[in-house]
Amino acid sequence: MLKDSLDLMKIKNKLQNSLKDKIDPSLLDKIPSGYSVIGDIAIFHQINEDLNPIKEQIGNLIIQFDSQVSIVVEQIETKSIYRKPIIEYIAGERRALTIHKEYNTLFHIDVSKITFSPGNKGERGFLINAVENGEIICDMFACIGNLSLPIVVNNPSITVYGIEANKEAFDFLKKNIKENDVQGRYYPVFGDNRIKTPKGIANRVIMGFFKSDIIQFTKAVDAIQNEGWIHHHFTSSRSLNYKIENIINPSKDKVKFRVESTEIRKIKKVSPRLVHYCADIKIQK
Ligand SMILES: C[S@@+](CC[C@H](N)C(=O)[O-])C[C@H]1O[C@@H](n2cnc3c(N)ncnc32)[C@H](O)[C@@H]1O
């Protein structure tokens, strides 16, 4: 979970108080004010390198102050379309496997192999509420079930086809389907969604990947029955200079459909300049 800002301020104050007589005062302001927690693992995203000599000390104090946390790591970067994280252990046991719980859903995850964005918690809640009973959903970038597993867990009338091309993520997806006892309602499909996306079966398609292309958007349209929703995720500047028509219009040469409505929602800030948005596109064939 993304720790709320009050909790983080309290922890940052405690860290500063504990360290104030032990470290150079100029470092106190550089102590990071935010981390996310997946299962019992706290994840920092790029700690100021001036803090390198006291990172372990900071990590151990977090374990002491935050009852949810038993391991602290830093995620240095993510690689490839699979978003494989590169992590460094800071404090606690050297274990990357954990079980994260959100919206009654258990996610087995290895944080050294797979990314899971706690900042998308609001989106998971949005989807649980947005679906109508009986819907068939296609999650084209399923990962370990990040966006679509909670929908099935919280609504027994929903069926999901989740497509994932990374074997490591796919194996966790299968494990999580079993763990949450939704076999028979969540169908995992291994492979590239450009080939594996089913046709004409879905009421809703989730495209939770920032770099999806026109071929994939066309597959999303193909997946929809007569009408339905496509949730297309992307990043853009705060001034929203992204042109959604550039992804929608080229598909019109390949599949016959019209757009009934498009609404763009802000999901989260991903960096000082970039914002994660989702376009909810209602289409009719
Ligand atoms: C960003 S992750 C999904 C994260 C998720 N939306 C969340 O809330 O945290 C994107 C996933 O799509 C998968 N992926 C990327 N390209 C794919 C493709 N062509 N076909 C199927 N899966 C793909 C990656 O392996 C990765 O697991």
The domain ranges of the chain are 5-95, 115-284
143 within ligand 1 shell (Cβ under 6 A): yes
Q: Does the pLDDT value for residue 5 go beyond 70?
A: no
Q: Does the pLDDT value for residue 9 go beyond 90?
A: no
Confidence at residue 20, expressed as pLDDT on a 0 to 100 scale: 82
Which range (5-9, 110-114, 217-221, 245-249) has the least confidence?
5-9
Which backbone phi and psi does 160 adopt, to 5 degrees?
-125, 140
**Longest distance between any two alpha carbons in the chain, whole Å:** 68
166 within ligand 1 shell (Cβ under 6 A): yes
Ligand 1 atom nearest the C-alpha of 163 is 21
With the most atoms of ligand 1 within 8 angstroms of its CB, the residue from 192, 209, 210, 267 to mutate is 209
What pTM did the predictor assign? 0.92
Q: Please, which pLDDT band fits residue 1 given cuts at 50, 70 and 90?
A: very low
Interval between CA 141 and ligand 1 midpoint (Å): 4
Residue (of 59, 51, 58, 143) closest to 93 by Cα position: 59
Ligand 1 atom nearest the C-alpha of 212 is 16
AA identity, residue 167 = K
Ligand 1 atom nearest the C-alpha of 233 is 6
Q: 3-class DSSP state for residue 44? A: strand
Confidence at residue 48, expressed as pLDDT on a 0 to 100 scale: 84
Which backbone phi and psi does 31 adopt, to 5 degrees?
-60, 125
Q: Assign residue 183 a region: left if phi > 0, alpha if psi is -120 to 50, beta otherwise?
A: beta
With the most atoms of ligand 1 within 8 angstroms of its CB, the residue from 143, 144, 192, 213 to mutate is 143
Confidence at residue 74, expressed as pLDDT on a 0 to 100 scale: 93
List the alpha helices (DSSP H) in the chain.
5-19, 25-28, 55-65, 121-130, 149-154, 167-179, 193-196, 214-223, 245-248
Interval between CA 164 and ligand 1 midpoint (Å): 6
Q: Please, which pLDDT band fits residue 2 given cuts at 50, 70 and 90?
A: low
Pairing mode of beta strands 97-102, 159-164: unpaired
Q: Please, which pLDDT band fits residue 137 given cuts at 50, 70 and 90?
A: very high
Interval between CA 263 and ligand 1 midpoint (Å): 23
Dihedral (C-alpha) 211, 217, 218, 221: value to the nearest 10 degrees? Answer: 160
Q: Please, which pLDDT band fits residue 4 given cuts at 50, 70 and 90?
A: low
**Among 2-11, 202-211, 237-246, 249-258, which range has the highest average pLDDT?**
202-211
Q: Please, which pLDDT band fits residue 220 given cuts at 50, 70 and 90?
A: very high
Which residue CA neighbors atom 12 of ligand 1 most closely? 141
List the alpha helices (DSSP H) in 22-160.
25-28, 55-65, 121-130, 149-154
Residue (of 283, 253, 271) closest to 45 by Cα position: 271
164 within ligand 1 shell (Cβ under 6 A): yes
Ligand 1 atom nearest the C-alpha of 194 is 19
Kindly state the average pLDDT of the residues 16-25.
84
126 within ligand 1 shell (Cβ under 6 A): no
Confidence at residue 28, expressed as pLDDT on a 0 to 100 scale: 84
Kindly state the average pLDDT of the residues 159-188.
98
Hey, which CATH number is domain 115-284, 3.40.50.150, 2.60.40.420, 3.40.190.10, 3.40.50.970?
A: 3.40.50.150
Pairing mode of beta strands 105-110, 136-139: unpaired
Ligand 1 atom nearest the C-alpha of 210 is 1
**Could you tell me which residue, 240 or 103, shows the higher pLDDT?**
103
Interval between CA 242 and ligand 1 midpoint (Å): 21
> What is d(CA 97, CA 12) in angstroms, rounded to the nearest whole number?
26
Residue (of 182, 18, 154, 42) closest to 98 by Cα position: 42
Kindly state the average pLDDT of the residues 43-70.
89
Interval between CA 144 and ligand 1 midpoint (Å): 9
| 5-95 is a CATH 3.30.300.110 domain | yes
